[in-house]
Amino acid sequence: MRRLHLLGLVLAAVAGSARAQTMLDQELRLIEIHSLLVAMPALEAPARLRPFQPSAGLEVITIPIIDGTTGGKTQITASDRARAFPRVRLALGLPVADRWSAFAGVGWVPPVEFRGVSSNMVGLEAGLAWRCDRFAAGLRLHGEWADSRSPVTDPATRDQLVTWVTGADASAGWRFDAGPVGLQPYASVGVGRIKGTFTVTGDGHTLVSRTTDLTLSAGLSLVVLKNVEVAAELVAYPGRLIHPGFRIAWVPQLGSPRAVE
């Protein structure tokens, strides 16, 4: 009987340990998902900009419903406060050799508070693409930093999530022209290194999530009125997050014409 009692205590201890680990895994997963939200997807077909051609746009990143359950409690997630957030995005084409296209860009989310949530985010990106007639394939590098503050552990607090993202993606697209309208579907695959540091305001408790995530995306870029570009892209981080993004940009016909032959 004593042996059975001892075995029961051991099993209870193991089960308790498993439950604690499961809750920690869920918390780290929530940190990872919220960190992935601020990563910058391409939202543009490869080889889009000619040398010295600017692009000024506004993108809208949607927030899917995020289940905040961790163990026996429920955290407040981003989708409880908002279903989308805007990001300003600027880019400039760079001079390169014939049949090549390059660009550098910056993205910014200003720290404006909405329903107790704010995110100060800065992202940098650069890309190089090769063109052959209507086909284009490219490589893009990107990095983001974000300081996000919102109620998570309690509605009365503003907990902090600091995110660092570094990543790269390869994309390919095909351009169709129909009079004044240009259409370019594209797809990409990439990888990102994500670090999210979450700090509870109340007691200063900190959790750090470090992950490497695969990125799959497919998008459609539409150019109208020569200077206006509209794009929609579906981004998937398998097993973690799937969400669409949208962008509208003013792309004046400036720069060298050889990049769009």
| Domains of the chain and any CATH numbers | 2-260 (2.40.128.20)
CA distances from 2 to 7, 8, 13, 93, 164 (A): 9, 10, 17, 77, 53
Six-digit token string for 200? 């509870």
pLDDT, residue 254, reads: 72
Cα–Cα distance measured from residue 217 to residue 209, given in angstroms and rounded to the nearest whole number: 23
Cα–Cα distance measured from residue 193 to residue 170, given in angstroms and rounded to the nearest whole number: 16
Cβ partners under 8 Å of residue 260, min gap 6: 50
pLDDT, residue 116, reads: 87
pLDDT, residue 256, reads: 59
pLDDT, residue 182, reads: 85
Cα–Cα distance measured from residue 108 to residue 121, given in angstroms and rounded to the nearest whole number: 5
- Residue located via tokens 């929530």: 30
pLDDT, residue 258, reads: 47
pLDDT, residue 23, reads: 84
pLDDT, residue 4, reads: 36
pLDDT, residue 257, reads: 56
pTM, to two decimals: 0.85
Six-digit token string for 205? 């408790």
pLDDT, residue 255, reads: 60
pLDDT, residue 24, reads: 86
The tens-digit pLDDT sequence of the chain (261 residues) is 444 343 343 333 333 433 444 688 889 999 999 999 999 999 999 998 999 999 999 999 999 999 898 877 888 999 998 999 999 999 999 999 889 999 999 999 999 988 888 999 999 999 999 999 899 999 999 999 999 999 998 888 899 999 999 999 999 999 988 777 889 999 999 999 999 999 998 888 899 999 999 999 999 999 988 899 999 999 999 999 999 999 999 999 876 554 344
